[in-house]
Structures are given as C-alpha cells and as structure tokens.
A and B are shown apart, each in its own frame.
Chain A
Amino acid sequence: MPPSVLSFLVAAAAMPMTGKQPPGLIFLGFIVATLSAYAAQELARQAFVGDTLRGRWLWTAGFALASGMWSGHFIGMLGFRDPNTISYDINAMFEALAIALMSCVAALFIVASRVSKLVRWLLGSAVAGSGLFAMHYVGMSGLQTSATLQYDRALVALSAVAGVGLTTLAFWCAMYPARTQRRVRFLGAPLMGAAVAGLHYTGMTGVTLTPSLGLINSSRLVITPGLLALIVGASTLSTFALAALALAIERRAHEQVAVVLSEITDAFYAVDRDWRVTYLNPQALKYFSEGRERVLYRKLWDVIPQPMTAALYPRVHQAVVEQSTQRVELTYQDRWYETDVYPSQQGVSMYLRDITDRKAAEHALRQAAAERDLARNRFLQIAAHELRNPMAGVKSLLSLMQWLSEEGKPMPNVLHAAELMEREIDRMSNLLNEIIEAFQADEGVLDLEFKPIDLAAIVRMNLEPYRNQVGQHQLTVDLPPEGQAPVHGDPDRLGEVVRCLLANAVKYSLRCGEIHVRLVTEGNQAVLSVCDDGIGIPVDELDRVFDGFFRGSNLKDRDPGGLGLGLFITRQIVRRHGGEIHVQSSNHMGATFTVSLPLHRPS
C-alpha cells in the first residue's frame, strides 16, 4: 500500500469529528473495500482471460466490488453515533446495495466492452464513482434519528470529487499499466478502498446533527446498529468467501491447464491480439533458447526466428482472419517443425512440435518403397530375360522345321532337336517353379514333407549328376559313413539346397577351379559346407546374398544369368528345418556356404 494513502487515512482518522468517526472503523472500511476491490479486479480479469463465462465473471466481480463499497460505507456508519437513538431504514439499505451493485456491474461491463480504451476507462470509472456517491447518500437517507441532519454543501461536493476522482485513478491503475508493471496494477485496489473511505469520511465530516424533538417514524422497518454490524459482517465475509472460492476454482482449473500444457511434448504459445506471447510452456523454451521472462509479453515475431516467420506469418494471419485452424510445416536449422495454429478469444494458440524424426522415418519409408520398386522391376526384367532365351531357342527350332518342310527338305538330326527343345522347356519350367517357390518361401508357405532321412545319402544322391556336369572343375567330396547324419527333413527340398549351393560354386568359379563338399557332425548339428575358389562376393554385400534378386557387384559382364532367387529359397528351406545358413567370402577369394541342421537321433 503506498504511503500517501496511508498517511491520508491516518490523518483523516485523527481529525476531530462532528459526528463520531472512530479512525479504526474507517480504516476497517477501507481494508474491506480494498480487499473487495482486489477480489473484483482478479475476478474481472478472468473475463479477459477465459473464453467462456465472460458475463458470469463480470457479474461476480461487480457483486464483489459492490458489496465491498457497501460494507465499507456501513462499517463506517457503525461509528456514527450520537446520544440520540440511531437506527437504519432497511429499504434504504437495500436501495443503497442495489445502486452499488448496478453501478459496479455496469462499470465492469463498460470496461470489458470493445469501445476505445479511453472511453471504457472514463465512462466505467464515472459510472462506478457516481454509483458510489449515490450509494452513500441513499444509505444516509435511511438514517433514523431524533436529531436533524444538515449537510455542508461544499463538503458534499468535495466527497463527490474524492469518490469519483479516486475511483477514476483506481480504474486507470487496473486498466492501463503494461503487463510487466504489475505493481502499478496492484495500486488499483487500495485506491478503490480509498475512494470508498475518502467519500465516506468527507461526506460524514459535512454532516451536522442538530438535536430536535422530531419523532422517529416508527412505522418504517428499521434495524439497530448492532444488527447492522452483524449484517455487514456477514455480507463482508460471504463476499470474501465467494471471491476466494471463485478464485480457487479458477486457479485450480488454470493450474490443471498449465500442468497439461507443461506435460505435453508440443511447444505451446498463447498469443494475444497484439501478437504478444502471453503464455508459453517449458517445451517452448527449448526451441528458442531464451529465458521465459525474456519471451513472455514480447511480440511473437521477435521470438520466432526470422526464417520461420516468413512461412508462419501468412498462416497465423489466415487463422485469425478466417477463424480457422491452420497447420504448417516449417524447416529451420536442419530440423522440421509442424505448427498448428488455433484462433482463440485472445488471439491465437500455437502448438509447435519437432517432426524431424518423423520426416526422417517418412523419407526412409519412401526410400525403402523405392528400393522395393526397383527390386521388383529388376526381377521382372531378369525373369523376362531368363525366360526369353529358352523360348527363343524353341521358337528358332520350330521356325527351322517349318521352313524345311515348306522347302521339302528333310530335318536332319530330329532327335537332337527334340532333346534341345525339351531342355529349353525344362529350363523355362524350372524358372517358373523357382519363381513360384520364391513367392511361397517369401510368404512362409513352402510345402515341406518331413521324415527321418540320412543327410549324407541326400548329399551323395544330388552330387551325382554334377560329377559329369562340372566338367573341368575339381570336385572333392568328404561325407560321413551311412547313418551318421540323421536329420528330420524333406529329402526333395534338402536336395534342392545341395544342388543350389553346388550350382553356384560351379557358376561363379573358373573352369579349372576346386570345389569341396564336406559334411560333418558337430555336437547335435549336421554341418554341410560347399567351398569354391571362384570370384567370391564383396565383403560389404555378404549380408544381402540371401535376399532375393541379389547379384554381386563384381559380376559385371560375367553374369552367368539366373534369377538370383536360389539362395533366397535355400535359406527359407534351411530355416524351416530349424537350421541356419552362413557365408564366408571376399572378392576373388572364393566363397564357403555352411548349412547347419539339427541332428535327429532316434532315442
């Protein structure tokens, strides 16, 4: 409380009075009015903050202010006693209360309206101040005493000046200071208290009581000062209780909102109509590394980095103009932000979140999809190419036969031609089978028939045709005796595995290369290895060997063809048998494929 007001009050209380005006009661009136005004100010502020219940907050604030004025006046009146009996007309009391209430509520609605600030201030404080003045003198008119009351006109005028003037000052303090100057705003309440106490004191100083023999009009409903004290006390208390309750509810709701906003991962900014940041949550601080106090109440465009402003401003503007939600993606310093802008009563609310990771994930997904597309296209290309060769062979032979019969010439070596055609058709059908198997393997629906088998026998059986085919290759085979490598598996599929590994060894090694096939048992595993000394596989491509359509980058124009599905299918078959396949290799150093399968020893 500023010293000037205090000293004024102390001086006022110490002055000799015409009636009795104990300084303690005047001061109490001032305190009650001040506290009510403060409560009213806080309640009214909710009307500016909250989007809803605006009218209700204004009514509550008006009620708090009015009851503070009224209580302040009648607390003062409690000290006004004279030897004559004094009582109060109950109607006048309520009239006074009604006047206070109407003027206060009207004043607050004026202040909260949308006309110019100067008009709101002057008109609002004029209404409140004159309401205070009217309340005082209507209250006085209800004074029931045997003495005659006389008013000093000059002092009545002075009381009006004090009441309206101080009210105007109080409203200025409440309305004008920038948000940073909170201390000035807190002056509003004591000034309002001073307006109530000052008007009362000045007005009462101008009252002279002349004893007369006039009778009190006993037909009117009156109350005694004791009862008045009770009523005033109760009214004051209930006003405070109401204000405290309202504020507690509001604060709690506000805190809940604040808690929610501080816990969400988005940065949140509330921005008012003048683009000032009125609230920001802790996350918002992380983005633009300035202290909260430095950001708060600054213009949004001074807070948001310049490059983002250019993209953000049009959307925020659109949100305000169209009263619609806007979403915009911004990039700043290699990071991506997604911003949602919502129009609000005060201006706009902005949620800003870092979506760099999401953007990266989206990018990775797009890239993966592109790679899948590429692999699919490559597959179609390879498959078409691989099917085209045998088809071209068959077609050529047929065309030849047709031509020969047209020319009336005999077909030489028909048997050889038939064998060739059959081989080409087998090639095509094998390719188609491989494609179908690859799809089944990919979907995990390879058809397998498990039964107890001897892996050594399977290997031997499937090697046999290769002994002739490998031609100039040196093939060495190292197998355990019959029955030493029993496994539970599909003999056809495991044969396929052996043939695939051997075919690869032949395909990717020199004509005179060495190929070793070895089957051993290690613990409860049967381990089959196929080792060649061919062109090998570059080390950084080893983990892709078992993916479909793989072609080593070291093949270049030596590519012997094929779909690149063999190892893909092989791994699926091995895995379905509960086994695993590995490869060891490096460029030009040959390759070793190792298949381990669980042994199945009948107990």
Chain B
Amino acid sequence: MADLLVIDDEPTIVHALETLLTCSGHRVKTAPNGLSALEQLQTRPLPDLILVDLYMPLMSGSRLVATLRLDPALRTIPVILVTGAVPSPVDFPPDGSYQALIRKPFSVREVLAKVNEVLLGVGR
C-alpha cells in the first residue's frame, strides 16, 4: 500500500494506470500536466512514487522532474517516466533524477513490476 501520483495528459492512460494501481492496492491521485501536479504536491501527504509522462502541455515531465529535484521537500520522491514517443536525449531529465522508464503502450505486468521494484528499492 503506497500513495502514488500519476501525471499524464492522455485521459485513457491516466484511467488505465489509475485502475491498475488501485486494484493492486495503492492509493492513486492524478494530474493532467506538470503544473497541476506541482500544485497537488503542495498538499500532504506526499506520494511515495510519481509516474509522469514526458510530453505534456503547460509543463513537461522533464521540467517537472528538474523542479522536484531542486525542492528539498520533494527531491527524494522516486519517479518513473512513462513515455509514448521515442524521445530525443535532450528531452530527458538528467540521469539519476528518475528511477525507471516505461514505454507506451505498456503491459500492466511491466508497470506493476517496475512500481514494486522502485518502491522496494526505496524501502531498503
């Protein structure tokens, strides 16, 4: 049981991830872009893990990650990137600022495996 934040501008992806993770016993919140996610992160409790899309309007995933890593309160939250496109390296946040990468379309087993892996890694 963990608190998760799913950030994506595609409602279908958000719905799929939300349903999947809820059915796996997690508490899930969602946001349609980086800016709205930052607003949510001002409230507590903070999520244990963030799943974020790379390309989004208003604030992209990599800019959100860069912002998180500058904030003392948010810098320790692990991040999994979820991206549909084959992004150019310049669009990625720097290595080490995210814990895993999932490509869309994904299989739910892969998502579950990576989420558990990252959550366990943090717990150790």
Interface residues of A (CB under 8 A from B): 385, 388-397, 399-400, 402-404, 407, 409, 411-413, 416-417, 420-421, 423-424, 557-558, 560
1/0 contact string of B51-76 vs chain A (CB within 8 Å): 00001011010000000000000000
Contact of B12 (CB < 8 Å), options: A397, A407, A409, A557: A397
Chain A's closest residue to B112 (CB) is A403
Instruction: Please measure, in the bound complex, the distance between the C-alpha atom of A388 and the C-alpha atom of B12, giving whole angstroms.
Output: 13
* B19, A399: Cβ atoms closer than 8 Å: no
Task: Give the interface residue-count category, chain B.
Answer: 20 to 34
Chain A's closest residue to B110 (CB) is A399
Given A420-B11, A420-B12, A557-B60, does the pair A400, B20 have CB atoms closer than 8 Å? yes
Given A396-B105, A412-B23, does the pair A390, B12 have CB atoms closer than 8 Å? yes
> Is B31 close to A, CB under 8 A?
no
> Across chains A and B, which 8 residue pairs bring their CB atoms closest together, nearest first?
A393-B12, A395-B105, A392-B104, A396-B16, A392-B105, A403-B108, A420-B12, A399-B108
Q: Which residues of B contact A391 (CB under 8 A)?
A: 105
Chain A's closest residue to B91 (CB) is A557
B73-107: which have CB < 8 Å to A? 84-85, 104-107
Contact of A558 (CB < 8 Å), options: B12, B17, B22, B57: B57
Instruction: Please measure, in the bound complex, the distance between the C-alpha atom of A390 and the C-alpha atom of B12, giving whole angstroms.
Output: 8
A392-B104, A399-B105 are known contacts; what are 11 more A-B pairs with Cβ within 8 Å?
Answer: A388-B104, A389-B10, A396-B108, A397-B15, A397-B16, A400-B16, A403-B20, A412-B22, A417-B15, A420-B11, A558-B58
Q: Which residues of B contact A392 (CB under 8 A)?
A: 10, 13, 84, 104-106
B58 CB → nearest A CB, Å = 8
30 example contacts (A-B, Cβ-Cβ < 8 A) are as follows A385-B84, A388-B104, A389-B84, A392-B10, A392-B13, A392-B84, A392-B106, A393-B10, A393-B16, A394-B12, A396-B13, A396-B16, A396-B17, A396-B105, A396-B108, A397-B15, A397-B16, A399-B107, A400-B16, A400-B108, A409-B23, A411-B19, A416-B15, A417-B19, A420-B11, A420-B12, A421-B12, A423-B12, A558-B57, A560-B57
A511 CB → nearest B CB, Å = 9
Q: Which residues of B contact A412 (CB under 8 A)?
A: 19, 22-23
Contact of A393 (CB < 8 Å), options: B13, B22, B60, B108: B13
Q: Which residues of B contact A400 (CB under 8 A)?
A: 16, 19-20, 108
Chain A's closest residue to B63 (CB) is A557
B64 CB → nearest A CB, Å = 12
Contact of B106 (CB < 8 Å), options: A385, A399, A416: A399
Q: Which residues of B contact A409 (CB under 8 A)?
A: 23
Instruction: Please measure, in the bound complex, the distance between the C-alpha atom of A391 and the C-alpha atom of B84, giving whole angstroms.
Output: 10
Chain A's closest residue to B109 (CB) is A403
Chain A's closest residue to B103 (CB) is A392
Q: Which residues of B contact A407 (CB under 8 A)?
A: 23
B26-60: which have CB < 8 Å to A? 55, 57-58, 60
* B12, A424: Cβ atoms closer than 8 Å: yes
Instruction: Please measure, in the bound complex, the distance between the C-alpha atom of A396 and the C-alpha atom of B20, giving whole angstroms.
Output: 10
Instruction: Please measure, in the bound complex, the distance between the C-alpha atom of A400 and the C-alpha atom of B24, giving whole angstroms.
Output: 11
Interface residues of B (CB under 8 A from A): 10-13, 15-17, 19-20, 22-23, 55, 57-58, 60, 84-85, 104-109
Q: Which residues of B contact A389 (CB under 8 A)?
A: 10, 84, 104
Instruction: Please measure, in the bound complex, the distance between the C-alpha atom of A424 and the C-alpha atom of B12, giving whole angstroms.
Output: 8
A399, A407, A421, A423 pick with most chain B CB within 10 angstroms: A399
* A413, B12: Cβ atoms closer than 8 Å: no
Q: Which residues of A contact B20 (CB under 8 A)?
A: 400, 403
B87 CB → nearest A CB, Å = 11
Instruction: Please measure, in the bound complex, the distance between the C-alpha atom of A396 and the C-alpha atom of B12, giving whole angstroms.
Output: 8
Q: Which residues of A contact B106 (CB under 8 A)?
A: 392, 396, 399
Chain A's closest residue to B60 (CB) is A557
Chain B's closest residue to A395 (CB) is B105
Q: Which residues of A contact B60 (CB under 8 A)?
A: 557
A238 CB → nearest B CB, Å = 94
Q: Which residues of B contact A423 (CB under 8 A)?
A: 11-12
Q: Which residues of B contact A558 (CB under 8 A)?
A: 57-58
Instruction: Please measure, in the bound complex, the distance between the C-alpha atom of A445 and the C-alpha atom of B106, giving whole angstroms.
Output: 40
A402 CB → nearest B CB, Å = 8
Chain A's closest residue to B83 (CB) is A392
Q: Which residues of A contact B15 (CB under 8 A)?
A: 397, 416-417, 420
B56 CB → nearest A CB, Å = 9
Contact of A396 (CB < 8 Å), options: B22, B57, B104, B109: B104
Instruction: Please measure, in the bound complex, the distance between the C-alpha atom of A394 and the C-alpha atom of B105, giving whole angstroms.
Output: 9
B46 CB → nearest A CB, Å = 26
Q: Which residues of B contact A403 (CB under 8 A)?
A: 20, 108-109
A389, A407, A417 pick with most chain B CB within 10 angstroms: A389
* A385, B12: Cβ atoms closer than 8 Å: no
Given A385-B85, A392-B104, does the pair A404, B16 have CB atoms closer than 8 Å? no
A58 CB → nearest B CB, Å = 81
Instruction: Please measure, in the bound complex, the distance between the C-alpha atom of A392 and the C-alpha atom of B105, giving whole angstroms.
Output: 4
Instruction: Please measure, in the bound complex, the distance between the C-alpha atom of A391 and the C-alpha atom of B13, giving whole angstroms.
Output: 10
B20, B22, B55, B105 pick with most chain A CB within 10 angstroms: B105
Q: Which residues of B contact A393 (CB under 8 A)?
A: 10-13, 16, 105
Q: Which residues of B contact A395 (CB under 8 A)?
A: 105
Q: Which residues of B contact A388 (CB under 8 A)?
A: 84-85, 104
Q: Which residues of A contact B19 (CB under 8 A)?
A: 400, 411-413, 417
Chain B's closest residue to A558 (CB) is B57
Q: Which residues of B contact A394 (CB under 8 A)?
A: 12
Chain B's closest residue to A385 (CB) is B85
B10, B17, B19, B23 pick with most chain A CB within 10 angstroms: B19
Instruction: Please measure, in the bound complex, the distance between the C-alpha atom of A421 and the C-alpha atom of B22, giving whole angstroms.
Output: 20
